[in-house]
């Protein structure tokens, strides 16, 4: 009897030793893919064909929700709306990260990040690209109906030319850029937080209000039709607006203002409340494949930060200085920087005052 | 050894485990003590070895980590020093000597590209060993490395990988005047540094930044895959520790158990991690553990095998024997005795046990004897109740007596009723019913019988009862009185051939047997008495029985008579029930027939009131009054008949019923809602031989729907007649207008031939208009009286051709012929043409004569004859083939009528036309 007990104890001891010797080492299995990703972006921005390609390859459906301004998107994220991937302008990334609304990106799942140009890595708005993967970039500049203006347009200040009253276009969805270009027209920094400079900018904006038409009222995605019809002759805008607008009317031209154009960048971020960060990361990695990235650029006509995609981009687009400007032009441009919280408050007030001002007169 | 173990296992497992047993508890306790001892010893040894080993690897790895950190630190410091020097050279020096940076790079192969920037991020000088990258950036003012260095801090960037998988590291340092010097550091150099560090057999080293991202690893793929251990709960702790070393045992990123030491890289915020697989680190403790375990196992086995036998032999086996003995005794084997091997405590217990068993055995024997006696008495008792023969019972008692006292010489039983009578005896040699001697007065038997007490004589020679006898034998005797209550009914005696002392048990037994014998004797007496009484009672019963039988016979005879009468009655009742059922069925059939009919059936009195005797339930559907209401009010029918119809119905019905005995009428009644209901009433006078004379039977049908339809038809027809009349009127008017127009126009015509044509056309139209006029004036609007028409037509034509003045006379002879419009129009036109012809051509130059029109009807054949006694039809002219429009028209119209035409040219002209209608 004693024998049996002792035997059992010894067997247990043996087993423990054996376990110690050959403990299994499981390699981590990837989490399961989600059925659907919610993608939140500007309207008609990321081509549907690309989303379908992703669905074909991964089986993950992409539900494309649209916003009309970055502020709207941020409000919804703050309100706890669930998205998996959101396109966010650079200057908001830091703000959202500080509010803990963004998830850290696991770059083990996004190896194609290596295709991103050094120009867009480790920038101040998101050190180490902890929360964002660059999507596209470009200038905010002037779009002009060259045949309808009475003198060559060269400066931001030409927006205030009384000859164009009632035919000046501005995006209501881009308050920061509107204020920045006003600051630039006054000769100040695009990201100035100097109250005196901002007060001057507000006065100038209010002076512009009666001359204005909002571009969203024509087409929420593209200023082209408004200029093509001649209802707008001068507007703030983007290279894509010009490229699309030219198909309607070749007299639409792009002007980099002498005061310096505004440089912007859009990024993909994954909200902290996304239920499928792994699938979202696979999606981002997919979008950074050279051929996919080139397909995006060829369709939405924006410059991409993905260097590996450059050889695959339509040469017309690649060599178009409106989209991929020369280094000289680029160096003159000013990047819109993130604001301090106090600065943001001032900007918000300015925009509120501007929006509350008497609406443009109807012609 | 293995065989030994398996044998031990087999043996061990073959035991039955009973956790409450002494053996189990003892074994458990010993086993536990053994185990604790083993564990304490084992743990002590293993812990000692382990501690020694931990101290050893920690020392070894700490040194390796420190060395690695120093090496890496030195590498970085060298690069940083170079950049600081470049910064110190200053803006002017660098911009004036652009080749300077190139030379620096050549000296320091780890630097791939160096840039010198002003405070705004503008590149003032640059040098590169490959494609310039930093010099061409347009986002420098936004770059984290630039901004960090601009604020006066050194920047050691995270690892960057270019599209062609070339890794580099950003390094940026502040320089005087707000300038910044930045460089791309060739990663491969750092990686080589890391892979050159060796310790242990499979120890490895890697470097990570504060975010946990691995920037250098012995395996470059780990770095290129951007591996991070920020999520590794254990390793991430080391990131918190920026100044001192940290060590721990954990699973590495691949899940392998390792021991690791981390050390911060001086001058950077990086950490060096050294990892050694636990297998290697703890090789010695593992073997110590195995050896200890093995030897303890062996020792345990030996101890068990050797030490297990002794308690088995001294305690458990004797205990088991004790248990087996108890079980055998329990099973009834009281002769069993336990072997006593030792005089120890267990031996003493066994001895006491054996003593106990011996005593139990004795008691058991005594008990068995008593049981046998009781059993015998029980048997006697049983036979007493089942056996009434006294002799049999007494023999049984004597037999039992011998069974218990086998040494007896003889046993006798005597009956006692004032004197003793021999009843039974049994002898030891088997003789039965042999009496030893007649009981003597004053002897034992009589004494017992008279005194009613048991007398025991242990030895006849010394007993006073035998003092004066000359009995030769000496023996023992006992006399037992057989008593019922205090009454002695007999005596039992038993005798021994030698002196014998009766024990109390034996005497008690004899007395018990005696009691049984007494009961048997008493029973026998009672039985005899009962038998006697029974015999008497049986005789009385026999007499009673005979009397009963006689009575029963008589009752049976009477009963049979009554049954016959009953059967007849029953048959009669059944027949009556059957007839009634048939009647009911028949009545039901007729009632259903009457009440399912879609009409009201009634029987009423044949007087003025016509009050109902019966009315079927359909009256409710017809007029809304129930049959009961109907019959309760004799005036109801009369009141409900429409006042306009009342008198005529009463009058006509009275008359009709009186003569034809049947009457049929349609009239109006009001239903309960006051609406008019049309009914058809059919009545017949019931024959006098029916139930009651002076009754009528009738049926009322609802014909409201039919009447409505009739009225609608009438209305509709009337409307159509008016319409038709109107049409004919209008057609006639229109034709008259045409005729008038032709007349008016002819006033403008001067040519006589043309004028003639006009007149002819006018006449033709007129002749047709006349038909329509006749039609709308006719009774049925469909047919006209042809004779009347011909009359009017011919008069008109005569007037038109002004024939009267010329002496031409007209004679019309027409049967009553009526024609429809289809036939009348062609017929009219034919007459028009023929008469016109006659008027125009038959009497030239004031010729006088007669024109005759005859119309005859012979069944369906109409014969029209137009004749004149004029100059006659020109013989050279074929009337069926002429240019005359009139005659062409006549031929065509005859064809239309499917008729025939013939010309008789004698005195004048006669056209005869036959056609069918």
Compute the average pLDDT of residues B361-386.
77
User: From 3.30.565.10, 3.40.50.880, 3.40.109.10, 3.40.50.12780, which CATH number describes the B783-917 domain?
Assistant: 3.30.565.10
pLDDT of residue B14: 45
CB of B181 within 8 A of CB of B172?
A: yes
Q: Which two tokens stand for residue A40?
A: 């939140």
Q: Could you tell me the fold of the domain covering A138-263+336-356?
A: D-Maltodextrin-Binding Protein; domain 2 (3.40.190)
Give the A window 81-120 contacts with B, CB below 8 Å. 106-108, 111, 113-115, 118-120
Q: Which residues of A touch B255 (CB under 8 A)?
A: 25-28
Which residue has better confidence, A197 or B21? A197
Bridge partners (DSSP) of residue B113 are B128, B184
From the list B28, B144, B255, the residue facing A122 with the nearest CB is: B144
CA distance, residue B248 to nearest chain A CA (Å)? 17
pLDDT tens by residue, B759-776: 888 888 888 888 888 888
pLDDT tops 80 at residue B20? no
Q: Do A9 and B31 touch (CB under 8 A)?
A: yes
Dihedral pair phi/psi, residue B253, rounded to 5°: -65, -25
Q: Do B255 and A27 touch (CB under 8 A)?
A: yes
First to last CA, chain B: 142
Q: Could you tell me the fold of the domain covering A36-137+265-324?
A: D-Maltodextrin-Binding Protein; domain 2 (3.40.190)
pLDDT tens by residue, B212-254: 888 888 888 888 887 877 777 777 777 776 677 788 888 887 7
CATH architecture group of domain B597-702? 2-Layer Sandwich (3.30)
Compute the average pLDDT of residues B79-88.
88
- pLDDT tier at B692, thresholds 50, 70, 90: low
The mean pLDDT of chain B is 83
User: If you compute the radius of gyration of chain A from its CA atoms, what whole number of angstroms results?
Assistant: 26
CB burial readout A157-186, b (16+ within 10 A) else e:
bbbbbeebebbbbbbbbbbbbbbbbbbbbb
pLDDT of residue B57: 80
Residues A132 and A10: their CA atoms lie apart, in Å, by 57
CB of B258 within 8 A of CB of B275?
A: yes
A&B contacts, CB < 8 Å: 134
- Give B138's contacts (C-beta < 8 A, 6+ positions apart): A119, A327, A330, A331, A333
Q: Which two tokens stand for residue B620?
A: 């409710």
pLDDT tops 70 at residue B329? yes
CB contact, 8 Å: A19 with chain B?
Answer: no
* H/E segment holding residue B484: strand B476-484
The mean pLDDT of chain A is 86
Domain boundaries, chain B: 50-285, 368-538, 597-702, 704-781, 783-917
User: B257-264 and B246-251: which strand pairing?
Assistant: antiparallel
Domain boundaries, chain A: 36-137+265-324, 138-263+336-356
Q: Which CATH class is domain B50-285?
A: alpha beta
CB contact, 8 Å: A15 with chain B?
Answer: no
* Helix, strand, coil percentages for chain A (3-state, nearest 5): 45, 15, 35
pLDDT tens by residue, B31-66: 788 888 888 888 888 888 888 888 888 888 888 888
ipTM: 0.81
pLDDT tens by residue, B459-504: 888 888 887 777 667 888 899 998 888 888 899 999 988 888 888 8
Using a pLDDT cut of 90, give the percent of chain B over it: 4
CB contact, 8 Å: A326 with chain B?
Answer: no
pLDDT tens by residue, B412-439: 999 888 888 888 899 988 888 888 888 8
CB contact, 8 Å: A250 with chain B?
Answer: no
Q: Which residues of A touch B15 (CB under 8 A)?
A: 1, 4
DSSP per-residue string spanning A134-159: EEEEEEEEEEEETTT-SS---SGGGG
User: From 3.20.170.30, 3.30.2350.10, 3.30.450.40, 3.40.630.30, which CATH number describes the B368-538 domain?
Assistant: 3.30.450.40
CA distance, residue B88 to nearest chain A CA (Å)? 26
- Give A198's contacts (C-beta < 8 A, 6+ positions apart): A179, A183, A192, A346, A347, A350
When scoring A105, A118, A293 by the number of chain B Cβ atoms within 10 A, the one with the most, hence best to mutate, is A118
B50-285 and B597-702 have identical folds? yes
Task: Give the SS3 label for residue B860.
Answer: coil
Residues A269 and A274: their CA atoms lie apart, in Å, by 10
pLDDT of residue B302: 85
């Amino acid at each position: 009897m004693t024998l049996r007990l002792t035997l059992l104890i010894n067997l247990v001891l043996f087993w423990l030793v054996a376990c110690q010797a050959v403990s299994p080492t499981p390699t981590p299995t990837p989490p399961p893919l989600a059925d659907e990703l919610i993608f939140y972006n500007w309207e008609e921005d990321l081509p549907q064909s690309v989303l379908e390609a992703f669905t074909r390859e991964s089986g993950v459906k992409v539900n494309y929700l649209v916003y009309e301004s970055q502020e709207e998107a941020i409000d919804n994220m703050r309100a706890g709306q669930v998205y998996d991937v959101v396109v966010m302008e650079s200057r908001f990334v830091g703000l959202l990260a500080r509010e803990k609304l963004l998830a850290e990106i696991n770059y083990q799942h996004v190896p194609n990040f290596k295709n991103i140009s050094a120009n867009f890595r480790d920038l101040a708005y998101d050190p180490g690209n902890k929360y964002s993967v660059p999507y596209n970039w470009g200038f905010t500049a002037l779009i002009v109906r060259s045949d309808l203006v009475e003198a060559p347009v060269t400066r931001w200040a030409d927006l205030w030319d009384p000859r164009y009253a009632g035919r000046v276009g501005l995006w209501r969805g881009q308050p920061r850029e509107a204020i920045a270009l006003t600051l630039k027209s006054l000769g100040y920094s695009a990201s100035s937080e100097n109250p005196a400079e901002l007060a001057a900018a507000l006065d100038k904006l209010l002076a512009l209000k009666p001359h204005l038409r909002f571009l969203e009222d024509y087409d929420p995605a593209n200023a082209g039709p408004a200029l093509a019809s001649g209802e707008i002759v001068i507007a703030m805008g983007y290279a894509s607006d010009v490229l699309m607008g030219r198909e309607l009317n070749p007299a639409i031209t792009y002007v980099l203002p002498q005061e310096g154009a505004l440089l912007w960048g859009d990024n993909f971020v994954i909200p902290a409340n996304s239920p499928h960060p792994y699938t979202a990361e696979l999606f981002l990695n997919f979008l950074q494949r050279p051929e996919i990235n080139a397909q995006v650029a060829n369709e939405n006509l924006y410059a991409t930060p993905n260097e590996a995609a450059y050889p695959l981009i339509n040469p017309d687009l690649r060599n178009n200085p409106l989209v991929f400007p020369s280094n000289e032009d680029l160096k003159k441009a000013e990047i819109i920087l993130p604001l301090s919280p106090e600065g943001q408050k001032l900007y918000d007030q300015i925009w509120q005052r501007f929006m509350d001002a008497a609406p443009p007169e109807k012609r | 050894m293995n065989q030994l173990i398996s044998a031990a296992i087999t043996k061990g497992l073959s035991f039955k485990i009973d956790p409450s047993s002494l053996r189990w508890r003892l074994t458990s306790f010993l086993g536990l003590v053994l185990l604790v001892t083993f564990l304490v010893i084992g743990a002590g040894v293993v812990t000692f070895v382990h501690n020694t080993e931990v101290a050893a690897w920690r020392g070894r790895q700490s040194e390796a980590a420190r060395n690695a950190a120093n090496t890496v630190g030195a590498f970085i410091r060298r690069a940083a020093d170079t950049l600081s020097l470049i910064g110190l050279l200053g803006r002017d020096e660098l911009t004036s000597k652009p080749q300077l940076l190139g030379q620096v790079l050549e000296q320091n192969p780890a630097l791939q590209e160096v840039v010198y920037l002003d405070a705004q991020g503008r590149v003032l000088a640059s040098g590169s060993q490959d494609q310039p990258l930093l010099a061409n950036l347009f986002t420098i003012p936004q770059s984290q490395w630039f901004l960090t260095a601009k604020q006066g801090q050194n920047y050691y960037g995270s690892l960057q990988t270019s599209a062609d998988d070339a890794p580099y590291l950003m390094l940026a340092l502040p320089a005087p005047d707000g300038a910044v010097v930045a460089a791309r550091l060739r990663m491969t150099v750092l990686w080589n540094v890391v892979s050159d560090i060796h310790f242990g057999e499979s120890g490895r080293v890697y470097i990570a930044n504060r975010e946990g991202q691995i920037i250098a690893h012995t395996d470059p793929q780990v770095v290129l895959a951007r591996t991070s251990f920020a999520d590794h709960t254990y390793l991430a702790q080391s990131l918190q520790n920026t100044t001192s070393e940290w060590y721990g045992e954990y699973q590495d990123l691949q899940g392998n158990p390792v021991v690791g030491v981390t050390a911060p890289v001086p001058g950077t915020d990086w950490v060096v991690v050294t990892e050694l697989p636990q297998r290697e680190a703890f090789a010695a403790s593992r073997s110590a553990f195995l050896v200890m375990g093995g030897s303890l196992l062996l020792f345990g086995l030996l101890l068990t095998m050797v030490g297990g036998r002794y308690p088995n032999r001294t305690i458990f086996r004797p205990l088991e024997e004790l248990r087996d003995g108890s079980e055998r005794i329990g099973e009834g084997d009281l002769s069993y005795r336990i072997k006593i091997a030792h005089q120890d405590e267990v031996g003493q217990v066994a001895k006491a046990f054996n003593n106990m068993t011996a005593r139990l055995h004795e008691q058991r024997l005594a008990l068995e004897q008593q049981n046998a006696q009781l059993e015998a008495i029980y048997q006697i008792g049983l036979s007493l109740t089942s056996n009434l023969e006294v002799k049999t019972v007494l023999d049984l008692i004597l037999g039992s007596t011998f069974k218990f006292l086998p040494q007896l010489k003889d046993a006798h039983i005597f009956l006692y009723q004032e004197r003793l009578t021999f009843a039974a005896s049994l002898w030891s040699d088997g003789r039965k019913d042999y009496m030893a001697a007649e009981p003597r007065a004053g002897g034992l038997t009589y004494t017992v019988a008279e005194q009613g007490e048991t007398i025991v004589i242990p030895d006849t020679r010394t007993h006073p009862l035998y003092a004066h006898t000359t009995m030769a034998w000496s023996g023992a005797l006992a006399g037992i009185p057989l008593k019922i209550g205090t009454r002695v009914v007999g005596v039992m005696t038993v005798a021994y051939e030698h002196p014998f002392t009766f024990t109390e048990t034996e005497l008690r037994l004899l007395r018990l047997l005696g009691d049984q014998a007494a009961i048997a004797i008493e029973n026998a007496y009672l039985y005899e008495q009962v038998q006697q009484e029974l015999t008497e009672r049986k005789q009385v019963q026999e007499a009673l029985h005979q009397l009963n039988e006689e009575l029963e016979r008589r009752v049976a005879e009477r009963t049979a008579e009554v049954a016959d009468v009953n059967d007849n009655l029953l048959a009669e009742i059944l027949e009556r029930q059957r007839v009634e059922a048939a009647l009911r069925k028949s009545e039901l059939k007729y009632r259903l027939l009457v009440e399912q009919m879609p009409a009201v059936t009634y029987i009423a009195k044949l007087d003025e009131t016509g009050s109902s005797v019966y009315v079927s339930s359909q009256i409710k559907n017809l007029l809304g009054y129930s049959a009961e209401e109907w019959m309760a009010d004799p005036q109801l029918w009369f009141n409900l008949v429409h006042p306009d119809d009342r008198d005529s119905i009463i009058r006509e019905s009275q008359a009709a019923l009186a003569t034809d005995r049947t009457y049929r009428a349609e009239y109006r009644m009001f239903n309960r809602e006051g609406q008019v209901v049309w009914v058809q009433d059919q009545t017949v006078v019931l024959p006098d031989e029916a139930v009651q004379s002076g009754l009528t039977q009738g049926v009322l049908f609802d014909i409201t729907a039919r009447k409505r339809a009739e009225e609608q038809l009438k209305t509709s027809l009337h409307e159509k007649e008016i319409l038709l009349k109107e049409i004919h009127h209008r057609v006639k008017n229109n034709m008259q207008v045409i005729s008038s127009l032709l007349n008016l126009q002819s006033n403008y015509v001067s040519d006589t031939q043309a004028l003639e044509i006009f007149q002819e056309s006018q006449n033709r139209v007129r002749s047709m208009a006349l038909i329509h006029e006749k039609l709308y004036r006719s009774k049925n609007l469909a047919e006209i009286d042809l004779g009347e028409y011909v009359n009017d037509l011919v008069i008109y034509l005569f007037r038109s051709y002004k024939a009267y003045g010329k002496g031409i006379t007209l004679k019309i002879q027409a049967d009553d012929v009526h024609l429809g419009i289809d036939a009348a129009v062609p017929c009219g036109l034919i007459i028009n043409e023929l008469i016109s012809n006659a008027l125009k051509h038959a009497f030239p130059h004031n010729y006088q004569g007669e024109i005759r029109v005859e119309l005859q009807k012979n069944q369906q054949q109409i014969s029209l004859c137009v004749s004149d006694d004029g100059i006659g039809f020109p013989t050279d002219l074929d009337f069926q083939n002429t240019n005359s429009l009139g005659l062409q028209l006549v031929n065509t119209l005859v064809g239309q009528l499917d008729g025939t035409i013939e010309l008789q040219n004698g005195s004048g002209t006669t056209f005869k036309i036959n056609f069918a209608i």
